[in-house]
A and B are shown apart, each in its own frame.
Chain A
Amino acid sequence: MTKIEITVNGIRHSREVEDRTLLVDLLRDHLGLTGTHVGCDTSQCGCCTVHVNGRAIKSCTMLAAQASGAEVVTIEGMASNGKLHPVQQAFTDCHALQCGFCTPGMIMAVAALLKDRPHPSDEEIYHGLEGNLCRCTGYINIVKAVKQAAHVMQGK
């Protein structure tokens, strides 16, 4: 067993978990944050994307122990004071989801992309979302949502 001290969405947690516990399992099973999804469980689909110390990572491919001491943000930490994050709002406005399964990871990946590239070109959006798969939308509206979010966030 290993002791994990972790800050998730601004709240500090302390847990004893098996050494082999994945970060996504800590989030979902131990902390009840089931907004982070497990799609493929093989580091390909990106549904489990969260931010660790400000960077997007696939939480199915990181041990909880590796994240001990880190600041983690999940989809549950994106809205503030009852107001959706601009990326969440853009996904809603642009109908950038159908079944919604990939959406939490997609939103975390987009938020990270916009931190690195506040004004992404189409090419940069495609390259920046290579780690996330959506099997419904064909990505057209997701790309629209990224552009809307970028536009809204620039205005701030």
Chain B
Amino acid sequence: MFEFNYLQAKSLSEAATFVAANPDAKLLAGGMTLIPTLKQRLAQPSHLVDIGALPELRGIEVKAGKLVLGAATRHHEVAVSAVVRQALPALAYLAEQIGDPQVRNRGTVGGSVANNDPAADYPAAVLALGATMVTTRREIDAGDYFQGMFATALEAGEIIVRVLFPLPQRAAYAKFPHPASGYAMAGVFIAETKTGIRLAVTGAGPGVFRWSEAESALTTELSPAALEKLSVDSADMNEDIHATREYRANLVKVMAKRAVLKLLES
């Protein structure tokens, strides 16, 4: 790692003021992406501002029909939370599938959503459920928030404070994890809402996306068979050492069917 100065933020406003005034400073929450990045010398921040322990960013509650997760809530806390398991069990399941136990003990929901790794799990739930990111400056709808690989609507110095997940009638998540890293090769989050089915895909394309043809087909007929004649365009999928575009396109359909089955069984 290159040298940097570490600062433990005492409050959210202190952290926000500091990162706004220091363009080369970076926020640190769980560090599960940032620290490996620093170790490979792929980034050279002047300061790391640690917001991982701020009480203002913690907490899990259901309020006004929404599940509210503080941005620094750790994956393990989401996975075992009685509140999450009761209100949105698919999200507890999703959190339990991230990385490995050691990663789940450190990584945070806000960090995952702010980083927007194209193979991260949380973005699928955020987009499928139409969650809202509450930041230090405003509220951002999921539909406006994700802007492609590692890109979000967040401005420099803007910090996610909490994420609000509207509660669906039912939801489910099915993921084909990369066997070594645990990242999604394809992950599908499906939500049954009052206005129909919403379905978001992570891991397969350059960023999380909604599969609208599948949403309409499943809104008409909620069964795996409804997806039989549909396919995602493999030209839009990622290709790498782990899988071809065509393989990923097929995985999306298989995971979508599994997610539908799980939703029906829930």
Contact = CB atoms under 8 A, between A and B. Distances in A.
What interface size band does chain B fall in? 20 to 34
Interface stretch (B2-10, B114-122, B149-157, B220-228): B2-10
Interface string B1-36: 111111010000000000000000000100110011
Contacts of B102: 43, 46, 49, 56-58, 109, 131
17 contacts: A18-B3, A19-B3, A19-B6, A43-B103, A44-B181, A49-B102, A56-B101, A56-B105, A57-B105, A61-B31, A62-B31, A63-B28, A130-B99, A130-B100, A131-B99, A131-B100, A131-B103
A89 to B, nearest CB: 22
Interface residues of A, number: 28
Contact of A113 (B50, B101, B106): B101
A130 B6 contact: no
Interface of B: 1-6, 8, 28, 31-32, 35-36, 38-39, 48, 50, 52, 76, 80, 99-103, 105-106, 180-182
Given A19-B3, A66-B50, A61 B76 contact: no
Given A43-B35, A65-B6, A113-B101, 4 more contacts: A57-B105, A61-B31, A63-B31, A112-B101
A43 B36 CA distance: 7
A121 interface: no
